[in-house]
Amino acid sequence: MRNLTAIFLTILFASIGSASARESSCISCHLSHDWVADTTIAADFISGDIHRNMGLDCSDCHGGDSRKGFKEGDPELAMNPARGYKAPPNRAGIPNFCARCHSDIEYMKKYNPKLPTDQLKLYRTSVHGKQLYGKNDTKVAVCTDCHGIHKILPSGDSRSKVYHNNIPGTCKSCHSDPGHMRGYKYKGKPIPTDQFDEYSKSIHGILVLEKGDNAAPSCNNCHGNHGATPPNLASVSAACGECHASNRDFFNNSPHKEAWKEMGYPECEQCHDNHYIHPSSDEMLGVAAGSLCLECHDDDSKGYMAASLMKASIDSLKAALEISEATVREAEVKGVEGGQARFDLGAAKDNLTRVRAVVHTFDPKQVTEITSAGIKTAEEVQLTAKAALGDIKTRQIGLGVSLIFILFFVVALLRKIRQVDKKTDFTVGDH
């Protein structure tokens, strides 16, 4: 009876999994409690594993003969070393086990020509790989920790542990576990375990974890995935610059680049932090309390003056935009603005977006050039909107004049009525 159930389940899962999947003696046995205590390995494999879906079977990884054993009632026929069967690898052996196929360019081309084949090479350069191969540390992540074992899903599948938005949670499973991370150090200091907590509060974390935005960076975008390492000082800005290219270029040409290099500051991270990257605000700039510039620049220093000037310039642009926005909105609500002022205001607002990038030059001249252009446009927009609002006054005067004519007509008509009434006899039948 149990065998019948196993056969039924095999057929069922096989039909769900892949029509092209070969008949497998391994799966029949591994789904049957007659043969194994834990049936989840086989159940996992036939319920959507990418290898299974690609037409591969147990023997493609584990060797042996998957066509024999179940019918005969002898599992040794399947797990036959003479037919190439190998016992599952231990943790240290897993990367090489997977790499037998995944590092074989010709083999991988048949299944997914786009998939890279340098994972093992990269892995060896990662902290994980170095620990594993250099120090025989089997606590570090190997392929299966991130990808799963028998239910490996493609990284584009939102259920996968390596799906972009799931990666922070995957890394967290080890890196937020103080017990697991105990003893690991970076630059002589214990590796913290609060990265996930910090990341989840950061602008990137909010976008990835709460808003499901898969354009915002996950752990691997800065640290790499198979070659995961802590980025060094220079590569932090390289990682940020992958997305924030303009800011990176402006910074690289700024006086801060060399100065910070000499002082050993980590570029972007110095102001924006690393895992807990706050949403940027204009208040980071300037000389008011809480400004980041004050952390290095003393009162009356050149940098202090520059910070003060740049902040004032941006504030002026924001104030001009605010006034223009209010005037345009009033004109829109009153129905005297047809769209041109709104369009031009959009151009003025672009200046604010641009200057927030250009501020990374830390050059007041470049900053004020953009803010001045923005202020000029905003003021022109305001004038246009005010002129439109002024039309209401013109209309009121025009309509006031027409009202006088109406009243004049009414008075004349009332006089006419009096004349007509004088000639009329209101008694019934007399007119």
Partner 1 sequence: MAEKNALYKWFDERVDLVNLEKFLRHKTVPYHRHSLWYYVGGMCLYLFIVQVITGILLLLYYKPTAEAAYESVQYIMTEVPFGWLIRSIHSYAANLFIGFVFLHMFSVFLMKGYRKPREITWITGALLLFLAMGFGFSGYLLPWNQLAYLATNVGTNFAVMVPFVGKWVLEFLRGGTEVTGATLTRFFGFHVAVLPGIATALLGAHLLFVQRQGMSVPISIEKEINAGKAKRLEIPFFPNFLYRDVVGWSLAFGLIILLSSLFPWELGEKADILKPAPPHVKPEWFFVFMYQTLKYVPKAVGVFGFAIAGGIWVLLPFFDSKSNRGEFNRLYTIIGIAAVVYMVVFTIIGYVAPGE
**DSSP 8-state assignment for residue 288:** S
**Distance between CA 355 and CA 359 in Å, rounded?**
6
Measured from the CB atom, the residue of 281 and 402 that comes closer to partner 1 is: 402
User: Considering the rule CB under 8 A, would residue 234 count as an interface residue with partner 1?
Assistant: no
Residue-by-residue DSSP string for 235-294: HHHHHHHTT-HHHHHHHHTSHHHHHHHHHT--THHHHH-SSS-PPP-GGGSSSSTT-SGG
Verify binding: residue 19, partner 1, rule CB under 8 A. Answer: no
CB nearer to partner 1: pick between 23 and 213: 213
Q: Does 387 bind partner 1 (CB under 8 A)?
A: no
Cβ proximity to partner 1: between 49 and 325 the closer is 325
388 near partner 1 (CB under 8 A): yes
Q: Is 431 in the site for partner 1 (CB under 8 A)?
A: yes
For residues 215 and 428, which CB has a smaller minimum distance to partner 1 in the complex? 428
Of 113 and 429, CB closest to partner 1 = 429
Q: Which of 195, 337, 381, 382 binds partner 1 (CB under 8 A)?
A: 337
> Would you count residue 422 as binding partner 1 (CB under 8 A)?
no
Among 334, 353, 387, 390, binds partner 1 (CB under 8 A): 334
Q: Token digits for 57?
A: 């079977």
- The answer to whether residue 167 forms part of the interface with partner 1 (CB under 8 A) is no
* Sequence-distant (≥ 6) Cβ neighbours of residue 125 within 8 angstroms: 227, 229
Q: Which residue has the tokens 């008949």?
A: 23
Q: Number of residues in contact with partner 1, rule: CB under 8 A?
A: 32
Tokens linked to 324:
């223009």
Q: Which of left, alpha, beta for 267 (phi over 0: left; psi -120 to 50: alpha)?
A: left
Q: Does 421 contact partner 1 by CB under 8 A?
A: yes
Binding residues vs partner 1 (CB under 8 A): 332-339, 388, 392, 395-396, 398-400, 402-403, 406-407, 409-410, 413-414, 416-417, 420-421, 424, 426-428, 431
